[in-house]
Amino acid sequence: MKTKLILSAALLLVAATALVAGTLAVTTAVHTKPDTGSSAITYLKAGSDPVPAAGGSVSAPDGWMAIELAGPFEGYVESNKDLTKGLDVKAGAAIRLAPRADAGVLAIAEKSDKATITGLRGKWTQISLEKKIIGYIRLTEGAPTPMPTPPVNRAPAPTANAPVAPGVYGVATGGQAAPMVDLGDGGSSALPRQFAGKFVSTRRPLAPRRPYDYALNDDAGKRYAYLDISKLLLTEQIENYIDRKVVVFGAGKNSRDGKDIVIVVETLQLK
C-alpha cells in the first residue's frame, strides 16, 4: 500500500513538472475552481503551454494546478443591477460565463478593470473583459476533454421599456476614418467610451420625428442607442455614414424619459 502511494505521488510530481515545463499532451478543461464540477472557462488544446499563476504563488489542492489566462474574455452582467448610468460595470459585480443567473462566475469586477460592452442578451449585457484570469486544470487528466457544443444564439424577445445596450458587432471590414474632433467632456458627466454598430437615420417619411435624427443599431437591426451629434463639426458629411458600420466615442446617458440610451458623440469613424 505504501509503495502504491509513493508511486502515485511520483507520477503526480512528474505530471506537474511536465505541465510547468511546457506542453499539454491532451485537450484540457480550465475550470473556474479546482473542482471538475465547476464551469469551464476555456479549453486548452493539446500542445498548449499553460502558464503557472503568478509564478506558482497561487495555491491549489493536490492534483490541480492554478494557471494564468490572458484576456480578453467574453462575460455577462445584469443590465439593471450591474451597470452604472455611465454604462460601466460596477465594482463587485459577478461577471458570468453565460447570460444566466446560475452560470459560472468568470471574475468579480474590480474598479480598475477594462470592460467594453459588446452585446445584449435579454436582460443581460455582454462585455469583453481585458484582464488576466486565474483558472485551474487537473494534473491527472488522462484523456482529451470533449469540446462543448457551441450554443445557438437566438435573438432575445423584446421587452417593453427594458434597458438597452450595444448589440453584437460581428467581424468588421476596413474603412477610412471620418474627421475627428476632441470635444472635452462630450456634454455628459459620465466618462466617454467606445461604442460600435450600424449608423442609421431615424427619419422616415410621414412618420413622427424621433428625439434624435441618428441612432446605432445592432446586427439584428434593432436600435440600442440614439446619437446626439450636436457636438460634432463637419456634420454636413454625416450622410456618408448612414447604413455603415461605425465606431463612435462619447458619453452615454439616459434620455429624458429614461427609456433609451443617448450617446453624446465626440468622434465618429468607419469601422
Domains of the chain: 73-130 (no CATH), 193-270 (2.40.50)
Cell 469586477 identifies what position? 109
- 271 alpha carbon, distance to own chain's centre: 18
Q: Which pLDDT value is given to residue 261?
A: 86
What pTM, to 2 d.p., does this model score?
A: 0.50
Q: Which pLDDT value is given to residue 79?
A: 81
Q: Which pLDDT value is given to residue 106?
A: 94
Q: Which pLDDT value is given to residue 165?
A: 37
Q: Which pLDDT value is given to residue 56?
A: 58
Q: Which pLDDT value is given to residue 170?
A: 30
Q: For each of the chain's 271 residues, which pLDDT tens digit applies?
A: 555 555 455 444 444 444 443 578 888 899 999 998 999 998 888 888 888 887 556 788 888 989 999 888 999 998 888 988 778 899 999 999 998 899 999 999 998 898 888 776 768 888 889 989 999 998 864 444 444 445 545 444 444 333 333 333 333 333 333 333 333 333 344 677 888 889 999 998 888 888 999 999 988 888 888 999 888 765 657 887 899 988 888 888 888 887 888 998 888 888 7
Q: What are the grid coordinates assigned to 108, written together? A: 468579480
Q: Which pLDDT value is given to residue 234?
A: 59
